[in-house]
Amino acid sequence: MELTLPLLQEKIKEWKGCPLAERSNAVLGEGNPQAEIMFIGEAPGKREDELGRPFVGPAGQFLDELLVSIGLKRPDVYISNVVKYRPPENRDPTDEEKEQCMPWLQLEIALIRPKVIVPLGRHALGHFFPKMSITNAHGKAQKLSDGVTVFPIYHPAAALHNGNLRQALVDDFLALKAFLDSRENGKLEIENASA
Ligand code: URA
């Protein structure tokens, strides 16, 4: 049977391959299945677990504001997470949890086929470039493969706890907008990253 996004989402819901699945709800990606831009967060929080939707809590509200600030809306993009279940007390996901959930994210990316992938924070960046630090990489385009660029950005939740990061995120989004515009104008600025 051909794998489609709805079928993938059914499979993720049924999956019990990660211990987090025993105590929280599956939070699937959502948005435009034909999106050129895909945002990837870390793992669902409390509100996301309750509603079964990504980025609907305080970090999600800030993400929505940032999207609007560069002329995008949620229905224009696709938003998902590295880990599909909420870690207890919102702790960082472990390497094991990230590995267990990795095939789902890879299949989501293969189905959406985004041209620009925006990892939000270090966990999502690590999925693509394990050795890269978010402090150095944020706000700059990195070539992933032909026609696919990774544009890392700080995680919006980090800015809720640290006022200085708020401005950094606003600036990252402006840099993302400049990058998206440069794609349209054919004047691309991409770093050639070594993973
Ligand atoms: N933080 C994330 O990384 N993902 C969400 O869905 C919500 C908050």
Q: Give the tokens for residue 53.
A: 């939707």
Give the pLDDT mean for 157-163. 90
CA of 155 from ligand 1 middle (Å) equals 9
How far is Cα of residue 126 from the mean position of the Cα atoms in its chain? 11
Is residue 147 scored above 60 in pLDDT?
A: yes
How far is Cα of residue 58 from the mean position of the Cα atoms in its chain? 16
Mutate to test the pocket of ligand 1, among 42, 85, 118 (most ligand atoms within 8 A of CB): 42
Give the pLDDT mean for 153-169. 93
Give the pLDDT mean for 155-180. 94
Confidence at residue 191, expressed as pLDDT on a 0 to 100 scale: 73
Chain-wide mean pLDDT for the chain? 94
Give the pLDDT mean for 58-83. 97
Contacts of 3 (CB under 8 A, 6+ apart): 107, 111
Percent of all residues in the chain with a pLDDT value above 90, rounded to a whole number = 85
Q: Ligand 1: does its nearest atom lie under 6 Å from the Cβ of 42?
A: yes
Confidence at residue 186, expressed as pLDDT on a 0 to 100 scale: 72
Give the pLDDT mean for 93-102. 96
How far is Cα of residue 168 from the mean position of the Cα atoms in its chain? 17
Is 0.75 topped by the overall pTM? yes
CA of 185 from ligand 1 middle (Å) equals 32
Ligand 1, atom nearest to 42 Cα? 3
Class of 10-184 in CATH: alpha beta
15: exposed, middle or buried (Cβ count in 10 Å: 0-12, 13-18, 19+): middle
Confidence at residue 53, expressed as pLDDT on a 0 to 100 scale: 97
Better pLDDT: 166 or 1: 166
Confidence at residue 194, expressed as pLDDT on a 0 to 100 scale: 58
pLDDT digits (tens, 9 = 90+) for 177-189: 999 999 887 766 6
Q: Ligand 1: does its nearest atom lie under 6 Å from the Cβ of 38?
A: no
Confidence at residue 161, expressed as pLDDT on a 0 to 100 scale: 84
Is residue 14 scored above 80 in pLDDT?
A: yes
Q: Ligand 1: does its nearest atom lie under 6 Å from the Cβ of 157?
A: yes
**Where are the domains positioned within the chain?**
10-184
Q: Ligand 1: does its nearest atom lie under 6 Å from the Cβ of 43?
A: yes
Give the pLDDT mean for 102-126. 97
Is residue 163 scored above 90 in pLDDT?
A: no
